[in-house]
Structure 1
Amino acid sequence: MYVGIDVGTSIVKAAAFDGTGRELAVEARPVRLDLHGGRVEQDMEEVYGAVVSVLDELTARVAEPVELAGLTGQGDGVWLVDADGRPVRAAASWMDGRAHELLDRWLADGTFEAVFRRTGSAMFPGCPGPLLAWLDRHEPKSLDAAAAAVYCKDMVFQRLTGAARVTTDVSDASMPFLDPRTRTYDEGVLELLGLAHRRDLLAPVADPIAVGRTRGEGLPPGVPVTNGPYDLPASALGAGVTSPGDGLLIVGTCLAALVATTDLDLSGEPAGLYISTDRPGHRLRALPAMVGTAALDWVLSTTGVRHEEVDGLLAETPPGAHGVRVLPYFAPSGERAPFVDPHLRAELTGVCLESTRADLVRAVCEGIGYAARHCLEAAGLTGSLAVCGGGTRSPAWMRLLADVLGRPLRVVEGEVGARGAVLAAAERHGVPLDAPAWTRPTTIVEPDARRAAYYAEGYAEHLDRLTQARGRGGRERAAGSRTAGPFG
């Protein structure tokens, strides 16, 4: 039995697989996000406790001995730990928006672009650069008390294995401090962000990924376990996206577009990032938009619709949702892909007294599809496209998405991130697994030519509305800057 552990933003999962890649069992437990005033934090002890619980439940259900385990999890954010991997304060999530004013300053003075030109990382408020700089200014004692500023899976790995020293991997380190050419930290970026004096907080990069053995919490003592890659590149592995030009769309809480590449193009509009992988010279061009299924969840909760009603509602209203349109930029920290705009917000237009819940649901699903197309085009998709994530549970949404994207979808269901974590662990330990069998798609969804042509026009309109929205936001910020007092 092989076990993949995926420490997600809102759900922690553990999945068991047999040697052929068949999913034997999955255990999951939700974890809380604490939202207050633009800040989004998580209790590290709750997160680690959820990992141990799902592993206990999984191994109780499936009696086979565990041969190997792989760990993945959410990226970005700041997880401050002491030398034993214990929390110094609550973790600041990748969804956190407190550093947006600092990012505004870096966007204006050229720091943001300078970092992108060095590392291929377009910072956003919830990535470690802005968050560490904010903490250094407002909570320096927290940084003083920490042994390391790590990522979610790194904290879990140290606790599971009892490792004497916390490390990270090249994928998590890619945002925003890693030089993708040397695969080491760029000291110049630390200086640009005013963090050179906090250099010791960056965990050493284990290249290839770190290995250890469990100490008996959740899994029996002595099980080999690996740390990484984080959830985006792990999902690419789990979906079989390894050939240059092939892509993956993760329709989850975050809407992430990934394209495999051997190129490194640091020109153009700074956005997204290049994620280094365990294979030197092989990268993922990643454009992870802030909000995916979370936008649909908001509409469902606001209108009182249950998830199981979505497919039926999508059938009730035609493409175009009777004129209702949604720009799906719902994150409190704005958008980060395929552009960076910390102040962009969602827009709902075309609503009248005749609009229905079905119109709203279809409009947000179409809007998410347009945002996905924007990201995939910017990422350089030229090959096949795999799709995974919670959104794949809706067949009607997948058909709509194929039409909006105008291309076939290789739908890969199940715990794709956990599957990728196992494949990474197997490669690291030299365990021969049949990767094509492990990553075979569940189904292939073909687009309808007539609807695809309709949505091609809708996509052009979406881009026009987005340009107008960003222009309005810029004018409003400029007007505000002229009239604001000393405290904003």
Structure 2
Amino acid sequence: MSDALTADAVHLGLDLGTQSARAVAVDGTGRLVAAASRPLTGRRDGARHEQDPEQWWEALAAACREALAGIAPERISGLAVDATSGTVLLADRSGRPLTPGLMYDDGRARAYTARADEAGAAVWRALGYGRMQPSWALPKLLWLLDNTDFPDARLLHQADLITWRLAGHQVPADASHALKTGYHLVEERWPDTELARAGVPAGLLPDVVRPGTVLGTVCAGAAAATGIPAGTPIVAGTTDGCAAQIGAGALTPGAWNSVLGTTLVLKGASRHLVQDPGGVVYCHRGPGDLWLPGGASSSGAGAVARRFPGADLDALTAAAAATGSTAVAYPLTGASGERFPFRAPDATPFVLGEPAGDAEEFHALLLGVACLERLCLDHLDHLGAPADGPLTLTGGGARNPYWCRLRADVLGRPVSLPEHAESATGMAVLAATASGAGLEEAAAAMVRVRETLHPDPARTARLLPAYLDFTDELTRRGWLDPAVAAHARRKAEQ
């Protein structure tokens, strides 16, 4: 076993989320040694969502100082950074931000998606996602180029600013963050001709390497600011969704991690690129020869928070569990629009059945999320993605025991709940590879399973008709491809 996977070695995972910057120190056996976080604030104005990039560095540095205060410097073996997917800014040649950070869900560039798609359509098809989405990084870059005047600027992804500050000079971006900027993940290069056609000047984009590559080491200035020892290896990280997947240990082909937060995100592992003509599933490039397919829904636990703000969720859950209701609510978090497991800008919430009272309505939302989760996996299976391996549940929704059991019953398959599953933990696992451990080896040593839940066959049989009614209704409304619905029915009848 590598020395990196012993209790003496400590690996740092640094996570830039939407609301906080977090640092965790995890030893080589998976024990959480220390953790700290600092809040982040942003500005929302209609479709716009911005943050101050300097705040990212200041918050992360403060979190690192607190987390590392009681740890002997010689134990620190490496670090990796994750950040939100599609968040970008322009910086000058010294790394000083010239613009705010345009966040992952900033929608100001909607009018620029057509230009991005026209310029790179053949590449986007070859990469399996078909077309750009308005919140992706390339349309936002085109907006920045048309609405600012910085002729000598560099594009940085959110994590790139942090790795630049840590190293004291610019280092390559990771391919996971570069995906939404149009990086060619198969040929491992920027598609220069297509990007030039879209209006991206030469020299603007960073070099790119695969996640897990050692980028450099922490410089003296960063060591003073963060408490991370100078000389600590900096490992190329991933986006936050891929980081959570690594933290859940879902790294063998066919394994999946289902993250239930405000929205539902599924991330899996494959030995081949998974292509989706509908463009709702896309693949990140993982370390080594792994591909990381997945998708992010517009539905999830946010629908519960929207319908029952400030409610006692424990009491509601207990009441819901006693109802035995099979009413299903389509759990969109907003007023309209779905992106996974199907793309339907006009999709709106609906309810099948007639839930009586808050408890049954609450249960209908829980069941709706479970049905949507099964449909996501059926859609992935329909595309040819390996989808029958181990499944882990993470995110805030995984803290509700009844909901986890309901999801296992609807899925009809065992689910595992990791002990410490979060993006920062995933980056600590990835950081362990700087000392020679393989990623799957590191995950096996460092990811601890708290509990495994097995489905109740009788409950699965009782709930499957509700799932099939749900898919039929989505098809009737014209949102779900009938071929996917038919595949889901065949799987249910096996």
User: Which residue of the partner structure matches residue 487 of structure 2?
Assistant: none
SS in 2 for 1:182: coil
Indicate the SS of the match to 2:69: helix
**Structure 1 residues 463, 88: CA separation in 2 closer, same or farther (over 3 Å shift)?**
farther
- Superposition pairs for residues 56-455 of structure 1, below 5 Å? 56-60=65-69, 62=71, 65-103=75-113, 105=114, 114-121=122-129, 122-137=131-146, 139-141=147-149, 144=150, 147-162=153-168, 164-191=169-196, 194-195=198-199, 197-207=200-210, 208-214=213-219, 215-216=222-223, 217-222=225-230, 223-266=232-275, 268-279=277-288, 281-301=289-309, 304-306=310-312, 308-309=314-315, 311-320=317-326, 323=327, 325-330=329-334, 334-341=337-344, 343-349=345-351, 355-379=356-380, 380=385, 381-430=387-436, 434-455=442-463
Letter matched to residue 228 of structure 2: P
Q: Does 1:21 align with 2:27?
A: no
Aligned 8 A contact 1:413 1:441 in 2? yes
1:176 Cα shift?
4.7
TM-score (normalizing by structure 1): 0.83
| SS of aligned partner of 1:198 | coil
Pairwise CA distance, 1:346? 4.0
What's the offset of the Cα at 1:442? Answer: 1.3
CA separation in 2, counterparts of 1:306 and 1:175? 39
Structure 2 residues not aligned, in runs of 5+: 1-9, 481-494
Q: Is the partner of 2:82 in helix, strand or coil? A: strand
Secondary structure of residue in 2 paired with 1:174: helix
Q: C-alpha displacement at 1:204, in angstroms?
A: 0.9
Does the Cα contact within 8 Å between 2:218 and 2:228 map onto a contact in 1?
Answer: no
CA drift of 1:408 comes to 0.9
Alpha-carbon spacing, 1:213–1:268, altered in 2? closer, same or farther (3 Å): same
Residues 99 and 179 of structure 1: is their aligned pair in 2 closer, same or farther, counting only changes over 3 Å?
Answer: same
- How many angstroms does 1:36 deviate by? 1.6
The CA distance in 2 between the partners of 1:314 and 1:43, in whole Å, is 42
Q: Does structure 2 conserve the Cα–Cα contact (< 8 Å) formed by 1:76 and 1:175?
A: yes
1:72-99 CA distances to partner (integer Å, 9 max, x unpaired)?
Answer: 2221132322233332222111112223
Q: Secondary structure at the match of 1:95?
A: coil
Shift of the 22–200 alpha-carbon distance from structure 1 to 2, 3 Å rule, reads: same
Q: CA deviation at 1:267?
A: 5.5
The residue matched to 1:258 in structure 2 has which SS?
A: strand
TM-align CA RMSD: 3.0
Letter of the structure 2 residue corresponding to residue 202 of structure 1? L
| Counterpart position of 1:32 | 41
Q: Deviations over 1:338-365 (max 9, x none)?
A: 3334x3454143698x843333432332
Secondary structure at the aligned position of 1:123 is classed as coil
Asked if structure 2 preserves the Cα contact closer than 8 Å seen for 1:344 and 1:470, the reply is no
SS of the residue 2:55 aligns to: helix
Look up the equivalent residue of 2:453 and give its one-letter code. V
Equivalent-residue separation in structure 2 for 1:298 and 1:112 (angstroms): 38
Amino acid at match of 1:87: P
Q: What amino acid is the match of 2:77? A: E
Q: Is the 8 A contact 2:34 2:68 kept in 1?
A: no
Q: Distance in 2 between matches of 1:15 and 1:231?
A: 14
Deviations 1:227-263 (A, max 9, x none): 3022222222222222211211122344221221112
